[in-house]
Structure 1
């Protein structure tokens, strides 16, 4: 049975957004997906029963569209984010100013239940523009809506992710994969489905109001370990080549220059390299998935299944031992 409450999800057509819309629909909420291009997200309508998922046009850079999107809603989820900048889609405009616009619109509408997705490593003093913008966005949200819940995930994995899929794709064509800075940085990958469940729990839990949670999965891995895991999952043998950050920085610069061309996304940016210099794991003493009552899925249980297309013969591949 459908609930009366409407939850507006900004960024609901993205990778994590689709998991969140599915979780909210399964819980019986009416979901309003606010996206810049509704015509490209029509498949979300079948996530729930007829009429349960509504698509509306909204741009976080246009306050009036955001205000319309939250009208009549009982909760708001902000998932808007990019990993690299392009044109007017900058970190500052989306992560900081966009978060400010959404939280202020929610507060004006009398909404108290809001979940804002940030990132582990968000820090106003960071050398990374991405990390600074995430921290600025958190501050804007807290100022406008103190009851909002902040979720800071590590790298997020799941079918369609931009991490394991990217390196598995590279391994199809390249003889080697890079280990930035020697591959020693540590990560704590978290499953997109668990992030979605965390969003649902945070929306419905009074105990989560105004709290900040850092979301990481059960395992901590170095970048090198993640590359070896990826290669093992697709059963391909490739060299792993340590790449000093200084050299990687030059490659990233060239990648950014190539991205000036229309429809070209940078394979690597200098800002991403700054982030790769730091561990991306849950902080000591932070509230975690466990505090939300969630047992995280492991990469071993999820990733190999959706990396099947990268094996030499896909699902018909016979593993070589």
Structure 2
């Protein structure tokens, strides 16, 4: 079935948690382990290094992109009393779709849980996965929720709003915006959000495990009070130590255009889906959570108000957005270099190759090959394809260009505009870009 890392004592029933290496799943897993429960945690097969170990923790490999039949889930459910599904993605990739991860795999898991006589199923859904759902994200979540409601398994569906806390992927976007001198606000800024701390969500799951509700329920999981996007950004601005937040509201038409462009860029956080969800708002009544599970969620303003952002937090927020600018800049350098060589500076290119000592067919191969290679590298950078490896490929290529120029055209080192000297900071930019993108992709894949 999977690679088992530890073998906890069989004397207690086990809780199965899917998405255990993700932001929400990891916090739920740690909370249950701290409470003394035994956990079987499902991780993606592509996760090379498991993030944490515990005597009562058993790791098993499983990919929601492929587990779409109930019989595939049967081995995972052996000796399982409770199942918690926390798998979720905010945007689709080539290998991960909303339908696969939010609908097909969970529905197969629910059927398998029913077949295996699992005592309780807890589904981590999303606020907005209801009759008003319009985005593909929410519709896929709703599809699984509806299937679970038809199941005979005792169940609880938790629908969290934006979840924040250590390791989250959503709040850093707002923090990065709030860190800017003038804060760009999408649309009117009056859209309501009600972020919930991941500790409160994990506490709700723990309460549901310890004292299961008498009836099958669907509960919104939100912070104590809603706030507008303007208020959220103003709160974060004060956290950064600013006296006053300068807000610049971006028209809806421009946001829609940026969303269209973002949808064409792999890994972009802002796309048609996220823009549609942001426009719809994300708030609900927080009282049912406390009434049913006894969890009084904290207010985001109370979480940020008592503290000031550290130097590292300010730096990290800046890097969150600057990495996108760095990606676009490096891609532009490569693509523009290739296009300029092909269409506007062909004579100069051939002249330089002749001075290097190339001629005939070798000159043609070098000219067209280098131009097409530059354009290809730019497209790969834009796609963020294997950034760590690609950073070193760029470094070696520019290093090779620099070496050839140094040997055949040494006078270019004395160019007053730094034609060759600019390669030094460019190489540094490659390595910084590779490290940032590699770290980001690693976090996203968990």
Q: TM-score, normalised by structure 2?
A: 0.63
**For residues 199 and 246 of structure 1, what CA distance do their matches in structure 2 show?**
40
Match of 1:21 among 21, 24, 29: 29
1:272–1:291 CA distance, 2 compared to 1 (3 A): same
Larger-gyration structure (1/2): 2
Contact 1:156 / 1:190 at 8 angstroms: preserved in 2?
Answer: yes
2:279 is the alignment partner of 1:277: yes
- Secondary structure, in 3 states, of the residue corresponding to 1:37? coil
2:77 is the alignment partner of 1:70: yes
1:38–1:5 CA distance, 2 compared to 1 (3 A): farther
Q: Deviations over 1:147-190 (max 9, x none)?
A: 11100111111112222222323455x54333222110111111
Contact 1:187 / 1:281 at 8 angstroms: preserved in 2?
Answer: yes
Partner of 1:262: none
- Secondary structure, in 3 states, of the residue corresponding to 1:55? strand
Partner of 1:160: 167
**For residues 38 and 209 of structure 1, what CA distance do their matches in structure 2 show?**
38
1:116–1:186 CA distance, 2 compared to 1 (3 A): same
Partner of 2:299: 298
- Secondary structure, in 3 states, of the residue corresponding to 1:107? helix
**For residues 89 and 39 of structure 1, what CA distance do their matches in structure 2 show?**
14
RMSD across aligned positions (CA): 2.6
Higher relative contact order (CA 8 A, sep 6+): 1
**For residues 202 and 287 of structure 1, what CA distance do their matches in structure 2 show?**
13
1:313–1:186 CA distance, 2 compared to 1 (3 A): closer
**For residues 231 and 270 of structure 2, what CA distance do their matches in structure 1 show?**
20
Partner of 2:314: 311
Contact 1:155 / 1:190 at 8 angstroms: preserved in 2?
Answer: yes
1:313–1:203 CA distance, 2 compared to 1 (3 A): closer
- Secondary structure, in 3 states, of the residue corresponding to 1:150? strand
Greater fraction of residues in strand: 1
State the 1:288 CA deviation: 2.0
Partner of 1:196: 202
**For residues 214 and 94 of structure 2, what CA distance do their matches in structure 1 show?**
36
Q: Deviations over 1:20-40 (max 9, x none)?
A: 011111111111110113754
**For residues 208 and 246 of structure 1, what CA distance do their matches in structure 2 show?**
48
**Structure 1 residues 1-321: aligned runs within 5 Å:** 4-37=12-45, 39-40=47-48, 42-45=50-53, 48=54, 50=55, 52-60=56-64, 61-62=66-67, 63=69, 65-172=72-179, 174-236=180-242, 239-259=246-266, 265-283=267-285, 287-303=288-304, 307-308=309-310, 309-311=312-314
1:167–1:206 CA distance, 2 compared to 1 (3 A): closer
1:40–1:144 CA distance, 2 compared to 1 (3 A): farther
State the 1:201 CA deviation: 1.5
**For residues 212 and 245 of structure 2, what CA distance do their matches in structure 1 show?**
49
Contact 1:9 / 1:78 at 8 angstroms: preserved in 2?
Answer: yes
- Number of paired residues? 303
**For residues 138 and 90 of structure 1, what CA distance do their matches in structure 2 show?**
17
Greater fraction of residues in helix: 2
